[in-house]
């Protein structure tokens, strides 16, 4: 039986060196910061009223938002940042796959008009296109298509 440390088994380990070490972790830092800033800008724009109602507030004129949507942005940004810092590269890839899958579902439901709670209208709009683009990018990065696999590294 192979003895596996809890860090290797669960993919959680604080990095000994600061900063992202892989493309996946760099992606998580970048997206985490961007989404966190979007959430903060959203709260500056909307304030804390009409938290779950459809509003006419739009970040950069493209992404409709309300207080609940801003909260989701902030939580997602913090999740990405935490994943880049606290997870192993493999754990971070798994997190990107999970977030990418969730965002893909959010995009599909957004196109169908099921996100009025987040102030996202149905059809083709900035929010739904952004969700779809970030979902596909997260699945590509999380799937390891942009990084060398450990098998290739070991044999190189």
- Model confidence pLDDT, tens digit, residues 137-150: 999 988 877 766 54
Hey, where are the domains in the chain? 21-146
The per-residue pLDDT for 8 is 67
Q: Report whether 122 contacts 116 (CB < 8 A).
A: no
| Residue written as token pair 């779809």 | 132
pLDDT digits (tens, 9 = 90+) for 102-114: 999 999 998 998 8
Its pTM stands at 0.75
Mean pLDDT of 102-128: 87
């Amino acid at each position: 039986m192979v003895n596996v440390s809890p860090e290797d088994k669960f993919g959680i380990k604080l990095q000994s060196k600061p900063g992202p070490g892989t493309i996946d972790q760099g992606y998580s830092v970048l997206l985490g910061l961007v989404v966190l800033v979007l959430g903060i800008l959203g709260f500056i724009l909307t304030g804390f009223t009409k938290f779950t109602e459809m509003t006419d507030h739009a970040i950069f004129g493209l992404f409709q938002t309300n207080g609940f949507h801003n909260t989701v942005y902030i939580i997602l940004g913090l999740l990405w940042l935490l994943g880049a810092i606290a997870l192993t590269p493999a754990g971070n890839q798994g997190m990107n796959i999970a977030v990418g899958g969730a965002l893909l579902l959010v995009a599909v439901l957004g196109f169908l008009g099921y996100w009025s709670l987040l102030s996202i209208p149905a059809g083709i709009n900035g929010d739904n296109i952004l969700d779809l683009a970030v979902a596909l990018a997260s699945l590509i990065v999380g799937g390891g298509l942009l990084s060398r696999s450990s098998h290739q590294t070991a044999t190189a």
